[in-house]
């Protein structure tokens, strides 16, 4: 097998091996103040949201994962079925494998076949050309293109990139040339306000801060290294909660999305309270689908929609944008971070 395609299989199996549903999370440092009178009914909750040029019926989606091999084609087919049946948006994994090796194209295009009218985002790395970015969008008839930013992963990956000198220029060029929205995303290392500022200067308006706390690509790539492990880098980055706090000053000028370490609907609501327009979920859905199958995953996701309405009622908010006005306090290291970085 082509080594790049084998890497795609390894990423999925290692993400599953390392997956820990109940691990400690910075989301636990955000505590809502309980008020006893919601003064509204669950029926009044509207889960719809919008970002870039899209309106979504539900404020969460399947975030970038895979494609590029026979096994990952099967996974993408199942994920696309879940997206289709539940009406949530979905991103593919990086399409670069198909641009290098056209024989694996169908492991990505299967997503469009299964879900012809759904909201689908293609995905590519920052170091790519404008031409490849256009090809990635055309391949999937994608509604948007996610450009992933993943310096720690590349550096720990033995075969990864080592030259990051023009990533921002490449992001600008792709953004200027494409006629679909660009979503700049991290891959689980989070973002700082300086990073967000640099991304906005390239013309990108939609940013997924994808923070630490869930899938850990420093750990995954270290495991793939045969020698010279760099395991002391496995705690690198900002959590999703801290990244969202870093993003506060951009909430009116950019569409901020959140992902990284989402465990359940309460984490989704917390991310929305911190200003995310929508929340991406990768390993939780992948794990559920591999362990419990497609039907159970569809049923679980439909339950989440109801759970979201319950939690929004508990905090007395009828819409996703109203969630930005909840009462909560932050504790522990998250609070320390805010103090140190001057975040109110």
- Say whether residue 260 binds ligand FNR (CB under 6 A): yes
* Run of H or E residues at 120: strand 120-125
Closest approach of Cβ 188 to ligand FNR, in Å?
4
- Say whether residue 282 binds ligand FNR (CB under 6 A): yes
User: Toward ligand FNR, which CB reaches closer, 214 or 275?
Assistant: 214
* Run of H or E residues at 183: strand 182-185
The two structure tokens encoding residue 62: 């399947």
- Say whether residue 207 binds ligand FNR (CB under 6 A): no
Three-state secondary-structure class, residue 158? coil
Among residues 15, 157, 276, 312, which is the contact residue for ligand FNR, using CB under 6 A? 15
Closest-CA residue to 278 (of 244, 307, 253): 244
Among residues 59, 181, 237, 261, which is the contact residue for ligand FNR, using CB under 6 A? 261
Per DSSP, the chain holds a count of helices (H) and strands (E) of: 14, 12
- Say whether residue 109 binds ligand FNR (CB under 6 A): no
Task: List Cβ neighbours of 214 (8 Å cut-off, separation of 6 or more).
Answer: 188, 240, 259, 260, 261, 262, 282, 283, 284
- Say whether residue 12 binds ligand FNR (CB under 6 A): yes
**Residues 239-258 interacting with ligand FNR (rule: CB under 6 A):** none
First CA to last CA across the chain, in angstroms?
52
- Say whether residue 175 binds ligand FNR (CB under 6 A): no
Alpha carbons 48 and 46: distance in angstroms, whole number:
6
Closest approach of Cβ 93 to ligand FNR, in Å?
4
**Residues 69-98 interacting with ligand FNR (rule: CB under 6 A):** 93-94
- Say whether residue 187 binds ligand FNR (CB under 6 A): yes
- Segment near ligand FNR (CB under 6 A), from 40-48, 168-176, 195-203, 275-283? 275-283
User: Toward ligand FNR, which CB reaches closer, 210 or 313?
Assistant: 210
Query: Left if phi > 0, otherwise alpha if psi is -120 to 50, otherwise beta: which for 180?
Result: beta
- Say whether residue 123 binds ligand FNR (CB under 6 A): yes
Closest-CA residue to 259 (of 244, 281, 276, 275): 281
What does DSSP assign to residue 59?
A: S
The two structure tokens encoding residue 223: 């495991």
- Segment near ligand FNR (CB under 6 A), from 35-43, 64-72, 111-119, 132-140? 64-72
CB atoms near residue 17 (< 10 Å): 10
- Say whether residue 215 binds ligand FNR (CB under 6 A): yes
Q: Angle at Cα 273 formed by Cα 271 and Cα 277, nearest 5°?
A: 65
- Say whether residue 188 binds ligand FNR (CB under 6 A): yes
The two structure tokens encoding residue 198: 């640099």
Among residues 127, 214, 265, 275, which is the contact residue for ligand FNR, using CB under 6 A? 214
Among residues 5, 25, 63, 219, which is the contact residue for ligand FNR, using CB under 6 A? 63
Residue closest to ligand FNR when measured from CB atoms: 214
**Binding site residues, ligand FNR, CB under 6 A:** 11-12, 15, 63-66, 93-94, 123, 146, 148, 185, 187-188, 210, 214-215, 259-262, 281-284, 286
């Amino acid at each position: 097998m082509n080594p790049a395609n084998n890497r795609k299989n390894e990423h999925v199996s290692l993400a599953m091996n390392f997956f820990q549903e109940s691990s400690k999370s910075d989301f636990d440092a955000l505590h809502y103040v309980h008020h006893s009178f919601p003064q509204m009914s669950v029926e009044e909750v509207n889960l719809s949201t919008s970002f870039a040029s899209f309106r979504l019926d539900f404020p969460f989606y399947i975030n970038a994962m895979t494609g590029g091999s026979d096994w990952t084609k099967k996974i993408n087919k199942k994920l696309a079925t879940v997206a289709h049946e539940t009406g949530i948006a979905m991103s593919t994994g990086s399409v670069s494998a198909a641009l290098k090796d056209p024989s694996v194209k169908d492991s990505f295009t299967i997503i469009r076949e299964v879900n012809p009218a759904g909201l689908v985002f293609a995905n590519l790395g920052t170091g790519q050309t404008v031409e490849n970015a256009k090809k990635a969008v055309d391949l999937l008839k994608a509604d948007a293109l996610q450009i992933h930013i993943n310096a720690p992963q590349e550096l720990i990956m033995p075969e990864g990139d080592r030259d990051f000198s023009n990533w921002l220029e490449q992001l600008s060029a792709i953004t200027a040339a494409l006629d679909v929205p660009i979503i700049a995303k991290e891959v689980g290392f989070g973002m700082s306000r300086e990073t967000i500022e640099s991304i906005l200067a390239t013309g990108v308006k939609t940013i997924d801060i994808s923070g630490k706390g869930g899938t850990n690509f420093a750990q995954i790539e270290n495991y793939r290294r045969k020698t010279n492990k760099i395991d002391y880098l496995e705690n690198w980055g900002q959590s999703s909660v801290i990244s969202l706090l870093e993003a506060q000053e951009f909430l009116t000028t950019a569409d901020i999305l959140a992902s990284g370490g989402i465990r359940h609907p309460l984490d989704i609501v917390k991310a929305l309270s911190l200003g995310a327009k929508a929340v991406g979920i990768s390993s939780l859905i992948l794990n559920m689908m591999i362990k419990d199958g497609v039907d159970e995953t569809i049923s679980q996701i439909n339950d989440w929609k109801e759970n979201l309405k319950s939690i929004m009622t508990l905090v007395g908010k009828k819409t996703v944008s109203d969630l930005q006005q909840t009462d909560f306090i932050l504790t522990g290291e998250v609070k320390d971070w805010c103090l140190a970085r001057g975040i109110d």
